[in-house]
Amino acid sequence: MGQTLAEQILSRGAGRAVRAGEQVVVDVDLAMMHDSISPSIIKVLHHEIGAERVWDATRIAVVIDHVAPAATVQTAGHQANLRAWVRQQGIRYFFDVGQGISHPVLVEHGLARPGMVIVGSDSHSTGYGAVAAFGTGMGTTDMALTLATGRTWLRVPETVRVLAQGQLAAGVSAKDLGLAVARRIGADGATYRAVEWHGLGALSIAERMTLATLSIEVGAKAGLVPAAGPGWQAHADARRLQAPGWLAVDPAATYVQTVTVDLTRLGPQISVPHQVDHVVDLHELGRVAVDVVYLGTCTNGHHEHLAAAAQVLRGRRIAPGVRLLVVPASAEALRRATADGTLGALLDAGATIGTPGCGACIGRHMGVLAPGEVCLFTGNRNFRGRMGSPDARIYLGSPEVAAATALAGYIAHPAEVLA
């Protein structure tokens, strides 16, 4: 019997061959916790579970990304406590303010690798699937139990296969594919399931992370892109990584559903307020004027995404009255953007640059929206109130559309402003 990638990885984690539908306990290879939830995790670990030490300090990563740098005395105090806890427990991987968002950081540093079971205190932990890890998000109590035991329990998910065919047109990118899939299967189309993204070997790791992070937006437990193709090879070669021999797409695997997408016919997709799966073709949208264009997040704030936007913006100025906020996903993204002229092009066009991290994606600081404001956002959620006022409106789109929108002042196709 064949196995999906999720079944292969969870079989290794469980120490026996497992199949979709089974309830299993697996060893965790890496546990990620961020500043926003760490105070409660630490409290449950020590005071409710009663563990004095974490199970393995070399398998834990702590990242300060959700309010980075601290916006209030309150958050500054939590972060100071977290630094002290990291020292006291001897946590090996600590990424302080400015290093970026947990998911891209752990991937860029080669800590997230193919075949690993990775749990994180963040729903977008599906993002580790960009490097064919089984990454999944969990809450405070599950995280604390993992820190105490090195294990977690779960139901092995069935898998939905997305089969991409053909090549993306100019100005169209992974974000458009991810939103198109949300449009097809809905916000709960993969609940209790995993998603495997096939036919995308050429995609960079950044673009793979767009799809892997968007997997939770269709309800998925994990979203995996096979560790194959030139996009994976470039990432692996730069870090001397190798995918384990036991992990490969199995032609005999059973998928609960296959969603085929013809990339050659795919145009820019826009998710309209206030649900991620409310998706339309950009040309169906009509004229939507914006106040803010926000380029960033674990979904679309990588160097490749900043560069794609810069390519549209280079030599031009954003429309009067529009704020273009750029928050790189990581220090690495910012460093590369500085080195290759991307940052200069963004600044010359009129962009404002924020500290690498989650920024305004969770509506806490660095660009929250006022009542009545409209934002074109490259992130992953357009829920009411997500980025600030519940009376603001958030539209999701690609970095290419974000750049075109900043120039036009309304939601625009890149071809429209480049014509």
To another protein, the closest distance from the beta carbon of 264 in angstroms equals: 31
Radius of gyration of the chain from Cα atoms? 20
Question: How far apart (Å, rounded) are the C-alpha atoms in residues 333 and 107?
Answer: 12
Residue from 163, 275, 281, 335 that binds another protein (CB under 8 A)? 275
Q: Assign 3-class secondary structure to the chain.
A: CCCCHHHHHHHHHHCCCCCCCCEEEEECCEEEEECCCHHHHHHHHHHHHCCCCCCCHHHEEEECCCCCCCCCHHHHHHHHHHHHHHHHHCCCEEECCCCECHHHHHHHCCCCCCCCEEEECCHHHHHHHHHCCEEEECCHHHHHHHHHHCEEEEECCEEEEEEEECCCCCCCCHHHHHHHHHHHHCCCCCCCEEEEEECCCCCCHHHHHHHHHHHHHHCCCEEECCCCHHHHHHHHHHHCCCCCCCCCCCCCCCCCEEEEEEHHHCCCEEECCCCCCCEEEHHHCCCCECCEEEEEHHHHCCHHHHHHHHHHHCCCCCCCCCEEEEECCEHHHHHHHHHCCHHHHHHHHCCEECCCCCHHHHCCCCCCECCCCEEEECCCCCCCCCCECCCCEEEECCHHHHHHHHHHCECCCHHHHHC
Question: How far apart (Å, rounded) are the C-alpha atoms in residues 18 and 225?
Answer: 20
Residue from 58, 191, 242, 264 that binds another protein (CB under 8 A)? 191
To another protein, the closest distance from the beta carbon of 142 in angstroms equals: 6
In the complex with another protein, the residue whose CB is nearer, 254 or 389, is: 389
Binding of residue 384 to another protein (CB under 8 A): yes
Residue from 145, 224, 270, 351 that binds another protein (CB under 8 A)? 145
Question: How far apart (Å, rounded) are the C-alpha atoms in residues 74 and 83?
Answer: 15
Binding of residue 62 to another protein (CB under 8 A): no
In the complex with another protein, the residue whose CB is nearer, 74 or 338, is: 74
Question: How far apart (Å, rounded) are the C-alpha atoms in residues 70 and 213?
Answer: 25
In the complex with another protein, the residue whose CB is nearer, 243 or 394, is: 394
Binding of residue 362 to another protein (CB under 8 A): yes
Binding mask 36-55 for another protein (x = CB under 8 A): xx-xx---x---xx------
Binding of residue 140 to another protein (CB under 8 A): yes
To another protein, the closest distance from the beta carbon of 21 in angstroms equals: 12
Binding of residue 35 to another protein (CB under 8 A): yes
Residue from 5, 62, 63, 66 that binds another protein (CB under 8 A)? 66
Binding mask 111-130 for another protein (x = CB under 8 A): ----------xxx-x-----
Residue from 7, 142, 158, 207 that binds another protein (CB under 8 A)? 142
In the complex with another protein, the residue whose CB is nearer, 191 or 260, is: 191
Binding of residue 67 to another protein (CB under 8 A): yes
Binding of residue 97 to another protein (CB under 8 A): no
In the complex with another protein, the residue whose CB is nearer, 6 or 407, is: 6
In the complex with another protein, the residue whose CB is nearer, 19 or 92, is: 19
Look at the chain and count its residues.
419
Question: How far apart (Å, rounded) are the C-alpha atoms in residues 187 and 383?
Answer: 12
Binding of residue 364 to another protein (CB under 8 A): yes
Binding of residue 74 to another protein (CB under 8 A): yes
Binding of residue 233 to another protein (CB under 8 A): no
In the complex with another protein, the residue whose CB is nearer, 59 or 381, is: 381
To another protein, the closest distance from the beta carbon of 327 in angstroms equals: 16
Q: Minimal CA–CA distance to 94: which of 68, 69, 64, 124?
A: 64
In the complex with another protein, the residue whose CB is nearer, 64 or 334, is: 64
Count of residues near another protein by CB under 8 A:
49
Binding of residue 75 to another protein (CB under 8 A): yes
Binding of residue 314 to another protein (CB under 8 A): no
Residues in contact with another protein by the rule CB under 8 A: 23-25, 35-37, 39-40, 44, 48-49, 66-67, 72, 74-75, 78, 121-123, 125, 137-142, 144-145, 151-153, 187-188, 191-192, 219, 221, 275, 362-364, 381, 383-386, 388, 390
